[in-house]
Amino acid sequence: MRRMVVAVVMVGLWWCGGVEGETQHHTPEKQHHPQEIKYHTHEIKHHIHTTKREPREIPCPEATDIAPCICTVLPDYEMDMDCSAVTSSEELARVFSAEMPFLDFNILTIFNNNYLTDIRSGDLGDATFKEIIILDVPLKNIVDGAFSKSYNTLTGLEIVATQLIYFPYQEIAQYTQLQFLTLPYNSISSFPDLSSTSLSVLILDSNPLATITETALQGLPALTVISLFDTQLSYVPPGTFVGLSLLEEVRLASNELTSLAAGTVNLVTPDNLVYLNGNNLISVAVDALTGVKGDVYIQDNQLTELAEDVWRPLLDDGISLYAARNPLTCGCEIAWLVLNTNYLNQLMDDVTCQDGELVSNLDPGIYIPC
Judge whether 152 lies within some domain.
Answer: yes
Judge whether 343 lies within some domain.
Answer: no
* Percent residues over pLDDT 70 in the chain: 85
| pLDDT at site 280 | 98
Residue type, 11: V
pTM of the model: 0.86
Q: Mean pLDDT throughout 157-170? A: 95
| pLDDT at site 256 | 98
Torsion of CA 221, 222, 225, 228, to 10 degrees: -40
Residue 34 has pLDDT above 70, yes or no: no
Judge whether 4 lies within some domain.
Answer: yes
Q: What are the tens digits of pLDDT across the range 220-262? A: 999 999 999 999 999 999 999 999 999 999 999 999 999 999 9
Judge whether 112 lies within some domain.
Answer: yes
Judge whether 103 lies within some domain.
Answer: yes
| pLDDT at site 58 | 75
Q: Mean pLDDT throughout 295-322? A: 97
Query: How many domains does the chain fold into?
Result: 1
Query: What are the start-end ranges of the H helices in the chain?
Result: 2-15, 18-23, 34-38, 42-50, 63-66, 89-96, 308-316, 335-338, 341-345, 364-367
- CATH number for the domain harbouring residue 62: 3.80.10.10
Judge whether 128 lies within some domain.
Answer: yes
* Percent residues over pLDDT 90 in the chain: 82
Q: Mean pLDDT throughout 180-209? A: 97
Chain mean pLDDT for the chain: 87
Of residues 179 and 31, more confidence is placed in 179
Q: What are the tens digits of pLDDT across the range 109-163? A: 999 999 999 999 999 999 999 999 999 999 999 999 999 999 999 999 999 999 9
Q: What angle do CA 260, 261, 262 make, to 5 degrees?
A: 125
| pLDDT at site 29 | 35
Domain, as residue range, for 44: 1-9+36-188
| pLDDT at site 351 | 96
| pLDDT at site 40 | 43
Judge whether 219 lies within some domain.
Answer: no
260: left (phi over 0), alpha (psi -120 to 50) or beta: beta
Judge whether 29 lies within some domain.
Answer: no
Secondary structure letter of residue 365 according to DSSP = H
Q: What are the tens digits of pLDDT across the range 58-76? A: 799 999 999 999 999 988 8
Residue 2 has pLDDT above 80, yes or no: no
| pLDDT at site 76 | 85
